[in-house]
Structure 1
Amino acid sequence: MGAVTLAKASFMALDRIERERPRSRSGGPNPTRAHVHPNSRKAGTFEDDFFYSYAKGEPDRLYKQAAELLKRKNAVRRVARAEGRQLTEDERLATLITNTALRVFEQLTTLARTCAGKVFPTWEWIEAAAGVSRASVGRALAALARMGLLDKQRRCVPIDPPADRPKARNAQTSNVYRMRFPNRLARFLPRFLRPVPLPDDVVQREADRIEEIEAMRLWRSPRQVVAEEIEDDGLRRVLDSLAIAIEKQESQKNGQPLLDSYVLGADGVGLVGQRSNA
């Protein structure tokens, strides 16, 4: 047996320490020990812009479309198998729906109809209403979101730090949901359940409107960009101060104004009226 060098023994000891050290799920330390999912937003700050205002009968129509999609998913597989090809991306998404997912979707659309589009049930409520397990609720929500039938946003609320988590500032609360039926799945439905296509002039007008908005956004000041696109309060304050400094620096690059341009004359304003050759 060869002799173990001091360096090799040190590496072996460090490796043993690394293996015995508990790691968080993400591989990094979690000093706050806060039970908050990533991408969570503070409750009460975004819901008014998130929720849909459904038209009369629209939640029921969304459920009927999802139910019809469940009936036709096996036919989609049979067509692809008969043609000797793999499922396309849209066909694969259409076949993700299950009976459990439809039951969960039914409860969410019922809430959308009875609560004016404000849908934020807990998982425990969905379990009891749909009659499925917690694991089934998680799988159903994930499948619906992947298909595009469901948009969800995690939320958190400020809390007083408990004794076991002295650095925690937020805690998880219920998610918010909104339902829709994407156009990429509408072609698998019968004609009477497909949305009526918009006239060409309406489509063109909407495209022109979007193009005009994007052109206007290019002329936003740095402070306007920060105010519209940054959601975190601390980061917004830092970037806002930086944007103010940038605007001040850029304003100093402009040339000197014509000092006589604001002088009122007898025959006009500014240089016009002061001199004949103005």
Structure 2
Amino acid sequence: KEDLAKTLELYPPTRRQFHSGMVVDILTKVRDNFESTMTKLKDMTITGLAISTDFGLLRGKQLEEICRQVRHMFQPHNGTIEKLVLSEVEQREMDCTFLQPPIQIEPNQHEVITIGLIMGTFNFKMPSLKHQGDGTQGKALVRTIKSEIARVMDAEGSESARGSSIRWTNIMQACELSENLENWLKFITYHAILKKTGNMWKHRVDECDQIGTNLEHVFKCLDGVNALKLLRDVTNTFSLLYKRETKPDWEDKEWQRKKALLRSFDNIEMKNILTFWQINK
């Protein structure tokens, strides 16, 4: 509401002039606010109020769903598998990389696991591939990519064969992949075969899953406090009735101690909420 009020103040409805710069300005602020929020979430400096406001839709979700949504938030690629593309830096690096002859055409476990991590991170399903022999779709894809690399090495030699020499159409035709999956194929080849970035992807997944777990714990803490508030209201009501009708000087000493758990987390940072939860859950 505060952000909306500020936007309306900057761009009141009565202002008749409109230009593209206003849209750019608004989108820039939205992007900056999003990046700032995600940085605070990662550093666990985001407050309880901000968590409730910005991530409230995840409250009540299963841990698996929370982690899946967090992975989507932290990844630069969203939407469909066709939009999964290398960055300009990665593309240039792949084109300039000297190819190494595959030790074996058959896929190894690390390569297959890396493909699985990439697809799981973006919640994509493996495309249907035409392949022969035993193994999964991932193994068939690795086998075809390595075969193309071996072909390039034989044709050009180890001193001149670079990533730019790979004929992607050969791989796509062999696997019967549609043309709109070429960028995805390059992405998989770069990360799973050429650069072997499996550990990086595992670290990303683990990091996002930890953030998702932290969010779930914060939600449980906030839900617990809300439940205690209801219990407080009921206890206070019945305590007054009991004292009035039975024992005027009676006090629930245990409840008096437990009331210390009733506090506001609106301005408390996430790391401190998690500490409180671990101690008092």
TM-score in terms of structure 2 length = 0.25
Higher strand share: 1
Higher helix share: 2
